[in-house]
Amino acid sequence: MSRIGVFICWCGENIARTVDVDVVAQEVSKFPGVRCAMNYKYMCSDPGQALVREKIVAEKLDSVVIASCSPHMHLKTFRRAAQLAGLNPYKVEMANIREHCSWVHHDRAKATAKAASLIRLSAEKARLDHELQPIRVPVTRRALVIGGGVAGIQAALDIADAGYEVVMVERNPSIGGKMAGLSETFPTLDCSQCILTPRMVEVGQHPRIKLYSYSEVESVEGYIGNFTITIRQKARYVDISKCTGCGDCWSVCPLKRNKSEFDYGMGVRASIYVPFPQAVPARPVIDAKTCAKIIRNGCGLCEKKCKAGAINFQDTDKLVEEKVGAVVVATGYKLYDIGEKQDKASLAGYGEYGYGKYKDVIDSLQFERLLSASGPTNGVLKRPSDGTEPKNVVFISCVGSRDNAKGLPYCSKICCMYTAKHAMLYKHKVHDGQAHVFYMDIRAGGKGYEEFVRRAIEQDGAKYYRGRVSKITQEDGKLVVRGADTLAGVPITVEADLVVLAAAMRPADGVAELAQKLNVGYDEFGFLLESHPKLRPVETNAAGVFVCGACQAPKDIPESVAQASAAASKVAVTFAADELMREPEIAGINEQTCVACYACLRACPYHAIEQAEVRTPRGVFVKHTARVNPGLCMGCGTCVAVCPSKSADLEGFTEQQIYAMVESLV
């Protein structure tokens, strides 16, 4: 016979107002196996927990049912209390008589009866609880950071400075991300490169950071504490261990008119190139799509010129493996591609702005390059079509953002701020110029942000019109921008020399594929999902995988950096102990009855089930079976539901327990 103790919480008035806790206590004390039943005003309080501990000892209880709030709230609390009193913590069950009962019912008598029934279920389950031990998992104290933008850089440096090794994988030839291409940053107007490039150099020189530039994550295996990452190092055609970065190769390269990715097509680069002078690593890469030697075995001048012998036209992609214990995803964002060519048909639109048709209609990142001192115009503002200085510039915000018709209902958050910055920087460069801003709302929440926008309007004279632009046409070299000022209620026409579109922020290309490799969820827009929007903002539903920066949602530099540090601290927490403790409530397969149909393997959302063989101690093959990897299993129970031979079961939630619970009610 079991010795179950039932502890009924009033939750102040939350439960006691609707549920007669005295009556419930009397009722449940009659249930088979219940040794004692008591109620208390706040069971989670210190005296409440003391009561539980006392009774466990005094009544020699072998399991405990706490009837209170949701287990999400306090299961851990009561498990700890039970453990202190010498009871195995997995012999604690909770009956949720608050969310599932008192909060949703009015009839006191019926609620009281329901509370007793809920406790009965938990008591039946408690009776069949086993003692379980947490699973210990060894930890490789080494982290992978995917993405070398400002978020990835911050996370990598924080983790490395905490004493752990970091492997950083960056898709582009250099780290730095979007921020490296920005001119100045709001709301303080400090030069983006001046504050970022020292951090980039730190990453490049840090003894504990191993940088894989021009590389991508090919595959991910394993689980928290024990990931094996395969990294694809894309063929660079330059041996960066030999290369000295002298620059002879790109100065001799005859193909200098390729559109520069780093300048978003505003500038040009050679076929062998360093994306920008402060690149880390400051080593070139050959663009195989344009290089004459690679395409048709011509040229080859760079190879002849290179004193270090670093050019290797026979280079191929290489796969390397790295073992890590935690992963930080910091893959950032891209801008919404304005126009008809889209990865999803619903995103097509904004033909009225003529982006791609008129050279002087550009997006915000392209404008950043025109403003940047290191940009293609050396910071002298020249419009793309004819190189003249634009005297009237129109800025259009919310291009894509908050547009339900395009399937992008969200606010990209940073555009109001950078548009104000653009208007300001423009005025600082072209004193007799006029900035015009068409906006829907000005969202300037943040330290010093609203003041910054006011400065753009009041000191730098930017004209703000609340309204949309309906059409941009080109007449005599001018862009005729027609829109509405909905506050004044008048149509507006501006003859502009340059138009800058604040395109929406979207997750970087390939994030969905990466998320699938990592078993991380993502939303309908492709942004990665955090575990909890408020309380677990950098964790994901994959243990040991953390997110930071704009891959999770549109955000600005300060927020990305803060989130990156948060992710780094979570990595440090993961690495704090030699071993990780994981909850033991996971699935197991009865290998005797398993028919190896692998229905569970296909159903498992965490890829925690593998094909295995049963062998005798001497190694003779007996049969095939499915097997659960305890490091990966999250205890969801999907395998139990799909197993046709009833060979899968979930510790702490066995089929036997479920049947007992159901039977107790009928």
Partner 1 sequence: MNIGYYPGCALHGSSDDYEESLRACLKTLDVKLQEIDEWICCGATAAHSLNQKLSIALPARNLALAERGGFGEILAPCPMCSMQLIKAQKALAGNEGLRREMSGIVELEVRGTTRVLNLIQVFGQIGLDRLKAALKSPLKSLSAACYYGCLLTRPPDVVEFDDCEQPHSMEAILTALGAKTVDWSYRTECCGGGMTMASEETVLDLSHKILSNAAAHGANCLVVACPMCHVNLDMKQPDIERRYGVRHGMVIYYLSDVVGMALGLPESALGINRHFVGKA
User: Which residues are near partner 1 by CB under 8 A?
Assistant: 340, 349-352, 354, 357, 405, 471, 473-475, 480
The CA-atom distances, in angstroms, between 515 and each of 92, 408, 512, 528, 529 are 35, 20, 5, 7, 10
Q: Which is nearer to partner 1, 350 or 575 (CB)?
A: 350
Q: Are 482 and 492 in contact, with CB atoms under 8 Å apart?
A: yes
Query: What is the 3-state secondary structure of 71-89?
Result: HHHHHHHHHHHHHHCCCCH
d(CA 214, CA 286): 11
Q: Which is nearer to partner 1, 352 or 513 (CB)?
A: 352
- Residues in the chain, overall count: 666
DSSP state letter for 134? P
* 455 contacts: CB under 8 Å, gap ≥ 6: 420, 424
Q: Which is nearer to partner 1, 214 or 355 (CB)?
A: 355
- Residue 489 CB, shortest distance to partner 1, in Å, is 17
- Residue 485 CB, shortest distance to partner 1, in Å, is 20
The DSSP-derived string for 370-399 is: HH-TTSTTTT----TTT-PPPSEEEEEEEE
- Residue 189 CB, shortest distance to partner 1, in Å, is 36
Phi/psi of residue 588, nearest 5 degrees: -140, 155
Q: Which is nearer to partner 1, 80 or 482 (CB)?
A: 482
Sign of CA dihedral 440, 382, 253, 280: negative
Q: Which is nearer to partner 1, 126 or 396 (CB)?
A: 396
- Residue 389 CB, shortest distance to partner 1, in Å, is 24
- Residue 411 CB, shortest distance to partner 1, in Å, is 23
Token look-up 């110029």 returns 433
- Name the residue among 412, 392, 394 with its Cα closest to residue 402: 412
Q: Which is nearer to partner 1, 474 or 541 (CB)?
A: 474
- Indicate the SS3 state at residue 255: coil
Q: Which is nearer to partner 1, 382 or 482 (CB)?
A: 482
Q: Are 149 and 169 in contact, with CB atoms under 8 Å apart?
A: no
- Residue 351 CB, shortest distance to partner 1, in Å, is 3
- Residue 441 CB, shortest distance to partner 1, in Å, is 24
d(CA 648, CA 260): 56
DSSP state letter for 575? T
- Residue 347 CB, shortest distance to partner 1, in Å, is 13
Q: Which is nearer to partner 1, 492 or 609 (CB)?
A: 492
- Residue 609 CB, shortest distance to partner 1, in Å, is 43
Q: Which is nearer to partner 1, 99 or 340 (CB)?
A: 340
- Residue 525 CB, shortest distance to partner 1, in Å, is 20
- Residue 405 CB, shortest distance to partner 1, in Å, is 8
The CA-atom distances, in angstroms, between 612 and each of 75, 137, 589, 626 are 35, 20, 11, 6
Decide the pairing of beta strands 505-507 and 498-503.
unpaired
- Torsion angle defined by CA atoms of residues 277, 278, 280 and 282, in that order, rounded to the nearest 10 degrees: 40
- Name the residue among 214, 218, 185, 280 with its Cα closest to residue 556: 185
Number of C-beta neighbours around residue 522 at 10 A? 19
- Indicate the SS3 state at residue 560: helix
Q: Which is nearer to partner 1, 214 or 353 (CB)?
A: 353
Q: Which is nearer to partner 1, 4 or 398 (CB)?
A: 398
